[in-house]
Structure 1
Amino acid sequence: MDQLLNFNTLIEILLGVSLSAASGFRVFVPLLTLSAAAVLGHANLPTDFDWIESPQALAVFAIASTLEVGGYYIPWFDHLLDVVATPAAILAGTIVTASLAPDLNPVAQWTLALVAGGGAAGITKSLTNLLRATSTATSGGLANPIVATVELVIAIALSILAITLPVVAIIVVITFLGLAIAKLWRFFSRFRTPQSTPENLS
């Protein structure tokens, strides 16, 4: 029985981290997916997060998702959304992971939620911000709607995959996060101060 409980807890954590990563693509789509799954009885949330599985929350997340998705198709407004969505994605990722780790004590629950959930969302969102900035620089913003569509498709697909096949979803997420970290590392390494060498000092 204890092994079964531990396995269920692991699956819930994998589900939470996968949904958190999806929050980096669209903040409200994973919350909408989780709320719909809870309302339909496919996800069992702890008492502290009962508000997520209410019909009112489902309606709010649906409206917020629609507004967020539409906003990314407005030229230049998408960049403003990125600024606002970055901390929002980290917060959403933290909440989602915390809501799906009910068998942990509060300290471990929120620490895991912040590090794993918030971290996954933050890394994903940082990469999407970089891709949007690159798209704007190379196409003058003309390619941004294509980027927005790809982000939306990934957010929906990853959210659904997390609910239905969390183990597969976490494999996809780990692979993606590894690629994202490598991409971000290469990008920011360009701005590091070169180390002093004998040639530089002469």
Structure 2
Amino acid sequence: MSACLGVGLAACCGFRVFVPMLIAGIGTKLGLIGTMGGFEWISSWPALFLLGVATVVELGAYYIPWLDNALDTIAGPTAIVAGTLLSTSYLQIDSPVLDWGLGLMLGGGSAGLIQAGTSLLRLGSTATTGGLANPIVSTTENAASFGFSILAILLPLLTMVILFVILIYIASRLLNRRRVTFTKPAKP
């Protein structure tokens, strides 16, 4: 579960660098998820404040036509670093070398892959529409970053609720079947 959480949050860094880190910090602060030892700083008040400011600046900067393409060149390596950091902070592995190695491969790789795709999308949008469609692309990326980050945190809880509902349904069907079997009158 921790690997899925880390990789899911890391992949969201490919859309926006700071949004998944802010969502992860809030989720950790609320006790919904827990980090490995040494990464508790992500839920500290100073970190949440700085991540909040960085998120607002990043979201706003992508709506400035010439700045959005420039940000994509910086966001590529930054997304890989943020994805590595996020996935490493939630991987429950005792070996630091293995933890950071997997964090780089899984988290950094997924963040870099998503970032490359969004950069190509923005480049295509700029080339075909002269940048007029870039705010639509930015809004979609913002929504994806927020939505998928929240989903990555809440998915284990939602999965447990769904499994619980399925088990209750199966149990009620089995009880109803037995009740019908016991209450049928015997044929003479």
TM score, norm. by length of structure 1: 0.76
In the alignment, structure 1 residue 87 sits paired with structure 2 residue 77: yes
Structure 2: stretches of 5+ with no match in the other structure = 160-188
Equivalent-residue separation in structure 2 for 1:103 and 1:127 (angstroms) = 30
2:86 counterpart (96, 101, 113) = 96
SS of corresponding position for 1:24: coil
In structure 2, the partner of 1:77 is 67
In the alignment, structure 1 residue 35 sits paired with structure 2 residue 33: no
Q: What is the CA RMSD across the aligned residues, in angstroms?
A: 1.5
Paired residues in the alignment total 159
In structure 2, the partner of 1:120 is 110
Equivalent-residue separation in structure 2 for 1:55 and 1:15 (angstroms) = 22
Identity of aligned residues (%): 47
Structure 1 residue 41 displacement after superposition? 1.2
In structure 2, the partner of 1:188 is none
In structure 2, the partner of 1:111 is 101
Equivalent-residue separation in structure 2 for 1:102 and 1:55 (angstroms) = 24
User: Would you identify which runs of 4 or more consecutive aligned residues in structure 1 move more than 3 Å?
Assistant: 166-169
Q: Which amino acid aligns with 2:16?
A: R
Structure 1 residue 167 displacement after superposition? 9.5
Structure 1: stretches of 5+ with no match in the other structure = 1-10, 170-202
Instruction: Return the index of the structure with the highest Cα Rg.
Output: 2
1:162 counterpart (152, 157, 170) = 152
Q: Call closer, same or farther: CA 1:166–1:118 in 2, change over 3 Å.
A: farther
Equivalent-residue separation in structure 2 for 1:82 and 1:167 (angstroms) = 34
Offset from partner CA, 1:155-200 (integer Å, 9 cap, x none)? 011000000005999xxxxxxxxxxxxxxxxxxxxxxxxxxxxxxx
1:131 counterpart (118, 121, 124) = 121
TM score, norm. by length of structure 2: 0.82
